[in-house]
Amino acid sequence: MSNDQTPEQQLIRVRLPQKNEVLGIVQQRLGGSRMRVLCLDGKERICRIPGRLRRGLWVRENDVVIVSPWELGGEDKGDIFYKYKSKAEVAFLRKKGYLKGVEEEF
C-alpha cells in the first residue's frame, strides 16, 4: 500500500465460491473444530475444519466462510475451506449481491 492510498482504496482480490462450494455464516461453535453454519442455499450444516487447515484457520461466530458440502451427507454436513478475514472482503461480497437475504448482524 502506498502512502497516498487509504485501506478502502487498496486493491483486494476476493476469493469467490467455486461450483461445489457455498457461502455461509458461522452461527455457533460446537467444539472439536465443528461449527453450525447457516449456508446461503438455505440449509444449516454442521461443518468441520479439515486437519490441514485446523491450526491456521481461526473461526468465530458471525464469520463469513466458504463451505464445501460433503458428497455423502451434503444436506447437513460440510467442510470449511476459507474464511473472509477483512471487512473489505465482506463489503465487496455484500456490494456484488453474494450476501443477499442475510441480516446485517456482522
Domain total of the chain: 1
DSSP conformational letter for 53: G
Tell me the pLDDT tens digit for each residue of 32-46: 889 999 998 889 999
State pTM to two decimals: 0.80
Contact residues for 68 (Cβ-Cβ < 8 A; gap 6+): 20, 21, 78, 79, 81
Residue 59 forms part of a structural domain: yes
* Average pLDDT in the chain: 84
Which of the pair, 60 or 6, is modelled with greater confidence? 60
Q: What gap in Å lies between CA 59 and CA 96, rounded to an integer?
A: 23
Is residue 3 included in any domain, yes or no? no
Full residue range of the structural domain in which residue 27 is found:
22-96
Domain-embedded: residue 53: yes
Whether 5 has a pLDDT exceeding 70, the answer reads no
> Does the pLDDT of residue 74 top 80, yes or no?
no
Is the confidence at residue 72, as pLDDT, over 90? no
CATH of the domain at 33: 2.40.50.140
